[in-house]
Amino acid sequence: MTNPVRIAVAGCNGRMGKVLVESVTHTEGVTLTAAIEHAGSTVLGVDVGELANVGRLGLMVTDNLEAVIEQVDVIIDFTRPEATLANIALARQYGKRLVIGTTGFDEAQKADIHAAAADIAMVMASNYSVGVNLVFKLLEQAAKVMGDYTDIEIVEAHHRHKVDAPSGTALSMGEVIADTLGRDLKKCAVYGREGITGERDRDTIGFATVRAGDIVGEHTAMFVDIGERVEITHKASNRLTFANGAVRAAAWIAAQQPGLYDMQDVLNLK
Ligand SMILES: NC(=O)C1=CN([C@@H]2O[C@H](COP(=O)(O)OP(=O)(O)OC[C@H]3O[C@@H](n4cnc5c(N)ncnc54)[C@H](OP(=O)(O)O)[C@@H]3O)[C@@H](O)[C@H]2O)C=CC1
Ligand SMILES: O=C(O)C1=N[C@H](C(=O)O)C[C@H](O)C1
């Protein structure tokens, strides 16, 4: 029998961190060996199983990833861009693998992640649900058939605590559509509208953002013509769908060579 993949959850006190702990403890072939929060967090020293409501695990939350990194094969990180970058630097130093769930990276931070992938194996995905990754494939098909002559708009809705907009998933949807149509998303994206905007340019891809209450995550891409429109929608109603996907990615990346992979690689959808 092979040894279980040893997982660290960074950001273990977050909305995603807690369900990641739950998912790891309920998944065969993986085991939780470290639970990380930032210095000054109120949960340092707390049993992470109790924090995540899965019962005592005898594993305490620490702010010192380096002190426990030799007991870890894969770090699952759903935190903030700066924290993720620091964890990647440590993983690179010790030859460890990562599953990156954090969104909201700027261009320089993305370049740093690509550089680290020369040395370590990482999965990075704006959305680890199987359904959203299927939607990415459906969007390719929709863009091929209708993208050239329709107005394309992407609408996303999330809970009031989300700090980045548009969501990483909405941006990925835009990238899939733009790539399929041979457009550059950096040039054709329109992020919200206000005032005298002028008429719509058909080559643009519009984004609209809703932040309200406890919405887990909803995304719709519209391909709108005169007389008909196609809408492709995904609605997440439980964060476990993201967590289970990320844990699946962690088990998968444990056996990969250095490089930057995404959830399409994990699901063999390419
Ligand atoms: N790819 C995907 O499928 C998904 C991605 N996400 C993304 O994951 C990220 C986290 O989301 P969510 O869980 O809702 O956010 P939360 O704010 O609930 O969780 C983030 C956690 O990270 C902690 N944190 C901050 N800095 C550090 C650090 N340096 N080291 C360790 N922990 C740190 C926070 O602590 P504190 O609260 O004390 O600041 C908090 O506990 C976001 O970028 C979100 O967009 C979310 C869902 C799915
Ligand atoms: O912050 C969230 O909650 C989510 N973030 C991801 C994103 O930015 O796309 C994925 C999911 O929609 C939930």
Domain 130-236 = CATH 3.30.360.10: yes
> Does residue 162 carry a catalytic annotation?
yes
Q: Do the domains spanning 5-128+239-266 and 130-236 agree at the CATH topology level? A: no
Residue 45 has pLDDT above 90, yes or no: yes
Q: Is 158 a catalytic residue?
A: yes
The answer on whether 168 is annotated among ligand-binding residues is yes
Please indicate if the annotation marks 204 as binding a ligand.
Answer: no
3-state secondary structure of 168: helix
CATH architecture of 5-128+239-266: 3-Layer(aba) Sandwich (3.40)
- Confidence (pLDDT) at 270: 87
What tokens appear for 168 in the block?
A: 């990483």
Q: Which ligand is nearest to the CA of 209?
A: 2
Asked whether residue 64 carries a pLDDT value surpassing 80, the answer given is: yes
pLDDT at 11: 98
Pull the structure tokens for residue 150: 């329709």
pLDDT digits (tens, 9 = 90+) for 164-202: 999 999 999 999 999 999 999 999 999 999 999 999 999
pLDDT at 207 over 80: yes
Q: Is 90 exceeded by the pLDDT of residue 1?
A: no
Beta bridge partners of 230: 223
Q: What is the pLDDT of residue 7?
A: 98
In DSSP notation, 131-161 reads HHHHHHHHHHHHHHHHTTTSEEEEEEEE-TT
DSSP codes of every residue in 191-230:
E---SS--SPPTT-EEEEEEE-TT--EEEEEEEE-SS-EE
Domain segments of the chain as ranges:
5-128+239-266, 130-236
Residues whose CB is less than 8 angstroms from the CB of residue 65 and which lie 6 or more positions away in sequence, other chains included: 8, 10, 34, 36, 75, 87, 90
Rounded Cα–Cα distance for residues 130 and 264 (Å):
9
d(CA 263, CA 16): 17
User: Which is catalytic among the residues 96, 158, 219, 234?
Assistant: 158
151 pLDDT above the threshold of 80: yes
Beta bridge partners of 208: 155
| CA of 132, closest atom in ligand 2 | 12
pLDDT single digits (tens) 213-269: 999 999 999 999 999 999 999 999 999 999 999 999 999 999 999 999 999 999 999
- Complex-level ipTM: 0.98
pLDDT higher than threshold 80 for residue 86: yes
Residue 180: count of CB within 10 angstroms of its CB: 15
Give distance in angstroms: CA of 37 to centre of ligand 1: 10
Q: What is the pLDDT of residue 258?
A: 98
Confidence category of residue 52, pLDDT binned at 50, 70, 90: very high
Is 27 one of the annotated binding-site residues?
A: no
